Amino acid sequence: GDSVTQMEGPVTLSEEAFLTINCTYTATGYPSLFWYVQYPGEGLQLLLKATKADDKGSNKGFEATYRKETTSFHLEKGSVQVSDSAVYFCALFNTGGFKTIFGAGTRLFVKA
Amino acid sequence: NAGVTQTPKFQVLKTGQSMTLQCAQDMNHNSMYWYRQDPGMGLRLIYYSASEGTTDKGEVPNGYNVSRLNKREFSLRLESAAPSQTSVYFCASSGGGSGAYNEQFFGPGTRLTVL
């Protein structure tokens, strides 16, 4: 079945550091890919998405490119802020189904 | 436009008690979902409703029941709560349709403790 694997956390960075959170997936067909973010005490919210190969999703300085050849969708940000501290979830949705498959989540701590 | 709302926000139960978690969405979405989130376990799907009038089991349905009351509302019931059901419960909705990319919109969660 479909699955998502993302790097284990926690990831601890200093403010203004470069962020990469790795995400790879296994799926048949052509799934849509997402990054969701969960701030403390809140529900998940969509950060960015990509619906086909080579698409780049971007939002709030975060970017991820849908790489079908490597089945990856790594999240990057050039300069993190303390306010980016949160849990990040990689996810996929495959056409023909009704369920979104989530990765286990990666907790990010950013120190001032 | 409130999005997805959940009640209650917090609840403490004793083992064996029952309760219903309520969820409503005002985005005219077809699909609704219930997840639980436990430390180190990510999100696990309990039940979902692809459209009004249908419900299906997710990966961890045991000990739960659901009702899709109408297009807006999707409730989760614990008939006889157990300490293993201590968790944070999230309701979500999406536009639905198997051909859509299906962004999910989440509620703020219910934090449940079973003693």
User: Which residues in chain B come in under a pLDDT of 50?
Assistant: none
Question: For the segment A41-84, what is each residue's pLDDT rounded down to a tens digit?
Answer: 899 999 999 999 999 999 999 999 999 999 999 999 999 999 99
| Distance (Å) from the alpha carbon of B82 to chain A's nearest alpha carbon | 23
CB atoms under 10 Å from CB of A95, counted, come to: 15
Q: Would you call B108 an interface residue with chain A, using a CB distance cutoff of 8 Å?
A: yes
Total residue count of chain B as it appears in this document? 115
**Confidence at residue B3, expressed as pLDDT on a 0 to 100 scale:** 92
The string of pLDDT tens digits covering residues A6-48 is 998 899 999 999 999 999 999 988 899 999 999 998 999 999 9
| pLDDT value of residue B96 | 62
| B98, B101, B108 member nearest A96 (Cβ) | B98
Q: Do A98 and B41 touch (CB under 8 A)?
A: no
Q: Which amino acid is at B26?
A: D
Asked if residues A52 and A44 have their Cβ atoms less than 8 Å apart, the reply is: no
DSSP state string for B55-105: -EE-S--TTEEEEE-SSSBEEEEESS--GGG-EEEEEEEE---TTS----E
